[in-house]
Amino acid sequence: MASTGTTAKQSAAANPAVAANLAAGAARQPVPAENSATHVGYGLPCAKCRLYYPADLDACPGCHYRERVSPVVPALPLKPAETLPEPIPDSSAVEREREEFLRQFKSQLLEVHAELANAQGSLCVLTEQHDAEELSAEICKACYYRLQERLDACEASLHIDVKEAAQIIYDAVWSDPSDPSKTYENAATALIDELRKRAGVDSPAGPFPPLAD
């Protein structure tokens, strides 16, 4: 059985009008383009303005930036790490460590005390009071300053004004004129009491023995 194309060619060869119609129909059919462009998809977004543009373009058509950036992917929440329970220490081991620490601490403390005991005593800082060599200090600074304050108060009490002393004696003499034999004793007692009060010295329980020459 002859094909349709062969029949059409035979008819065209027999009839010139048929040949003309075939040529016109072939001219109206579209010719496939050999160099037609293929479809291009979008690439990664612009690193500057985040615009998605075709993958075949070298720069962003909006801001003309040439670098692309990966799309933002939501970060997954981190799973918290599992904490292992701390091991319970052995009570006997802890007790041994404590005893060893106390033993070492006492040993070091005894060594420090021995070094202080064998070391040379502190020297006096008041070198201007020494005629020759330096002497060791047998009293701390706090006690020295406290004694110095007491001595200053005693020395200040001795600088009593003559008019004030005379007034004290006058008041003591005329405070009790009933017994003239005690006039001088009352005056001396009043003056000594005033000096002790100014020096901050307590009254003695009994009389002091005289100082040796």
What is the pLDDT of the chain when averaged over all its residues?
74
- Do 90 and 99 form a contact (C-beta atoms < 8 A)? no
User: Among all chains, which residue has been given the structure tokens 């293929």?
Assistant: 38
Lowest mean pLDDT among 51-55, 155-159, 174-178, 183-187: 174-178
pLDDT digits (tens, 9 = 90+) for 84-122: 777 777 788 888 888 899 999 888 888 877 776 555 556
- Cα angle for residues 18, 22, 27 (degrees, 5° grid): 150
Residue 43 has pLDDT above 50, yes or no: yes
Burial of 46 (0-12, 13-18, 19+ CB in 10 A): buried
Contacts of 56 by beta carbon, 8 Å cutoff, 6+ apart: 40
Task: Read off the pLDDT band of 207 (50, 70, 90).
Answer: low
Q: Once rounded to an integer, what is the mean pLDDT over residues 67-95?
A: 74
User: Among all chains, which residue has been given the structure tokens 């040379």?
Assistant: 120
Most confident of 6-15, 34-43, 180-189: 180-189
Residue 172 has pLDDT above 60, yes or no: yes
Residue 180's alpha-carbon distances to 137, 167, 177, 189, in angstroms, are 54, 18, 6, 15
Burial of 172 (0-12, 13-18, 19+ CB in 10 A): buried
- Do 201 and 154 form a contact (C-beta atoms < 8 A)? yes
- In one letter, which amino acid is 183? T
Backbone dihedral angles phi then psi of residue 197, each to the nearest 5 degrees: -65, -40
